[in-house]
Structure 1
Amino acid sequence: MKITSAALDALRVGFKTTFQAGLGAAASQQARVAMKVNSTNKSERYGWLQNIPGIREWIGDRLVQNLGEYDYEIKNRPFEQTIGVDRDDIEDDSLGTYGPLFQMMGDNVALFPDTLVWPLLKAGFTTSCFDGQYFFDTDHPVIQADGSTASVANTDGGAGTPWFLLCTKKPIKPIIYQERRSFDFVSKDKPTDDNVFNQKKFLYGVDGRANVGFGLWQLGWGSKQTLDAAHYEAARAAIGSFKADYGQPLGLVPDLLVVPSSLEGAGRKILQSQLVNGGESNPWAGTAELLVVPWLA
């Protein structure tokens, strides 16, 4: 192929089309547990109120929910992927191997939020959320009806493979995916570019800015105990009993059981088997959806 401006333009369009094909074919799972927040700054502060205010009967003056805010910040981070196409390969029309690379680049962009969201969920046992405690912890501070503060758990510990029971149908979700700038397809493919002159490489890539953080801990239960009916029941009961500050029930009903591939069988036994213990009716069948996430392996 003779390297001309027209030839390079056509090559760029072809690479971008292949990239977009990969972008559209990927099956992302993170939107089930993460809410997307569009960022406009280098970082965003999430001043979550100490409780989740609810509706009360209006007796006397309004009760202003003038509580202290936590200082929880998510800083955006830059990410990129770049492919170098050798000038000799263009001249020799040896471009067949590049198609899968650009399609995989599109796949990588589509699944990029998953590469941040699921590892963060898995790290929730050792990573702090808005109240300064680990996201899955035994001592989240909650103000009681009498004004005292009690410690509330959204984990039962354990040392095995982690699994998660989540509430995903509220306006706020357990994880925040914060996007400052979506990934753009960019190129440095002029014959006069330094990368071509010095390295014989025409460069094509993507870059964007984003990060993740935690939403409300009340929306999730994390466990490293054996995934069985008893521990599943305990997790559902705990989430259903969560209250806002000053004793108001939150009315949470968990709807999604998230497991790695190694716990798929245990999850199916709890949620999809109609009979257990040799013929007894399974009370937990259909009480939540099972989501098997390879990223949690």
Structure 2
Amino acid sequence: MDINAGNINALTTRINTAFNKRLEVVAPTWNRFSMEIPSTAAANFYPRLAELTGLREWKGTRVVHRLSVADRMVITNRKFEGTLAISRDDLDDDQFAFLMPQVDELGQLAGELPDKLVYDKLAEGRTATGIGMDGQPFFDADHPGYDSTASLVSWSNLLTIKAGETAQPWWYVFDTSRGLKPMVYQPRRPFAIVAKTKLTDDNVFWDDEFVWGTDGRCAAGFGFHMYAIATNRPPTGAVFQDIISAMSSQCRRDGTPYGVKPTLVVCPKNLEGALRGLLKTTFVPVLAPDGNTWVTGSNVWADYCDVLAADRLPQAVGA
């Protein structure tokens, strides 16, 4: 290829097109259970909430739920980059067929980054560093809450195995039916290609290389733990009933139920069959009254909620 401004600009146009095309066709899953909150600064500040706001009959003065960031959770934006270079000699000798597949892969990785950040943060929520909006680990055994009698209680959204059960890979249950979601994706600056290809650019003049790179800023964080449960218990009807009971037991401080219910199960690939069998099968084998014969019966959990088998969830027990 002749090294001139026209040819280099045409190559940059091809690189931009390939990158953006791949970026657009990536199918994310983070948006199934996360809310997107754009950022215009180095970090976003979120108020810590003792409870979710609600409506009440107006008697006396108003009850104010202050959304102050004085006591706040911070999600700090992170910066990511990917850079490719090719020597002037390789361009001159038409040895750059490998460049476009690399650009395509860079676009794929940029498109997948929100998923990576959200799923990594989801796993961190089971650890001591994964602090949520109430100042405790996002998945915790003793979140402060209220029951239907307006009594202060501990509420757990971390359901670990019971005696006699075999531990499974971690899977998650969310209520995604509301405007507020369990997780947060926070975009700051989108990814775009920047070219350093002028013959007078330092990298060309000093190092005899043409360089293309992309960078962006974004972050992921925790939303509302009331809408999320993590469990490593077996995916059975009895366990799913426990999850429904745990979610629906949450109330405001006046004893009014939040009305939280499962709408989405997110699981690793090796639990997909079991959970689809539990939640998406119309008929299941049931034991007849004689105690010996199996017959076809209706599945009480059929289509109770959606199932998302996520590639990014680890399939190993304990991971």
TM range (shorter): over 0.9
2:67, 2:117 → 1: CA distance? 31
Q: Tell me the amino acid that sits aligned with residue 94 of structure 2.
A: D
CA shift digits 1:122-154 (9 cap, x unpaired)? 222112111121111110012567775321111
Q: Is the 8 A contact 1:260 1:292 kept in 2?
A: yes
TM-score normalized with structure 1 length: 0.94
Structure 2 residue 248 is matched with structure 1 residue 231: no
Report the equivalent of 1:15.
15
Q: Is the 8 A contact 2:182 2:225 kept in 1?
A: yes
1:203, 1:66 → 2: CA distance? 50
Q: Is the 8 A contact 2:204 2:210 kept in 1?
A: yes
Q: Is the 8 A contact 2:45 2:72 kept in 1?
A: yes
Q: Tell me the amino acid that sits aligned with residue 242 of structure 1.
A: Q
1:63, 1:34 → 2: CA distance? 29
2:207, 2:239 → 1: CA distance? 59
CA shift digits 1:226-257 (9 cap, x unpaired)? 12211112112211222123322111221101
1:160, 1:253 → 2: CA distance? 23
Report the equivalent of 1:167.
175
Report the equivalent of 1:124.
125
Structure 2 residue 149 is matched with structure 1 residue 141: no
Deviates more, 1:283-292 or 1:268-277: 268-277
Q: How many residues align?
A: 297
Residue 210 (structure 1) shift: 0.9
Q: Is the 8 A contact 2:49 2:133 kept in 1?
A: no
1:67, 1:108 → 2: CA distance? 36
Residue 160 (structure 1) shift: 2.8
2:30, 2:53 → 1: CA distance? 27
Q: Tell me the amino acid that sits aligned with residue 280 of structure 2.
A: Q
Q: Is the 8 A contact 1:140 1:151 kept in 2?
A: yes
Report the equivalent of 2:289.
none
1:29-108 correspondence runs (5 A)? 29-66=29-66, 70-108=71-109
Instruction: Give unpaired runs (5+ residues) of structure 2.
Output: 162-166, 286-293, 315-319
Q: Is the 8 A contact 2:49 2:134 kept in 1?
A: no
Q: Tell me the amino acid that sits aligned with residue 88 of structure 1.
A: D
Q: Is the 8 A contact 2:145 2:252 kept in 1?
A: yes
Aligned to 1:157, which of 123, 144, 160?
A: 160
Deviates more, 1:138-147 or 1:128-137: 138-147
Q: Is the 8 A contact 2:142 2:156 kept in 1?
A: yes
Instruction: Give unpaired runs (5+ residues) of structure 1.
Output: none
1:7, 1:139 → 2: CA distance? 63
* Between structures 1 and 2, the one with greater helix share: 1
Report the equivalent of 1:115.
116
TM-score normalized with structure 2 length: 0.88
